[in-house]
Amino acid sequence: MKRFLITVASLVAFSAASMAAESGWLTDYEAAKKQAKEQNRPILINFTGTDWCGWCIKIEKEIFSKDEFKAYAKENLVLMEVDFPEKKKQSDEVKAQNKVLDKEFKIEGYPTIFLIDAEGKKLSEDIGYRKGGAQAYVDHLKELLSKKKE
């Protein structure tokens, strides 16, 4: 029975990691920084509570799940999710990493979303939720990034 429970727990953790990867959101900070460096792209880092935070769920439904955002992100960003779920299972490594990132970025609430570079330096203040849907969010990201290039 113990072996069965370990197997089930492993499958749940693996499927959660697979779903995050399929959605384009990485959960490994070092992998996100490496990809950002290789692709010369900024990281959109999303500190979230995916299974309990109302605003986090709202931004996922209204913005991150929409084709306009996905298309822009696929070509221009590395997506990193730093999740603090109440029910969803995470590996001990991810929990530990997320706790460190929470302190490093001085997170005070969720969602907190920044653009950062491949070294982890902030390129923006907290973007958070914005009204207007996916295209308005993409336009705001473009504006923030264009100001950094000037």
- CATH number, domain of 106, equals 3.40.30.10
Look at 23 and 113; give whichever has higher pLDDT: 113
Mean pLDDT of the chain: 89
Q: Output the pLDDT for position 50.
A: 97
118, pLDDT greater than 90: yes
Number of domains composing the chain: 1
Own/partner long-range contacts of 122-130 (Cβ < 8 Å, ≥24 apart): 123/42, 123/148, 124/148, 128/55, 128/59, 129/55, 129/58, 129/59, 129/63, 130/63
Q: Output the pLDDT for position 10.
A: 41
Q: Which residues constitute the domain of residue 79? A: 2-149
pTM: 0.85
Q: Output the pLDDT for position 149.
A: 73
Confidence of residue 147 (pLDDT cuts 50, 70, 90): confident
Q: Output the pLDDT for position 17.
A: 43
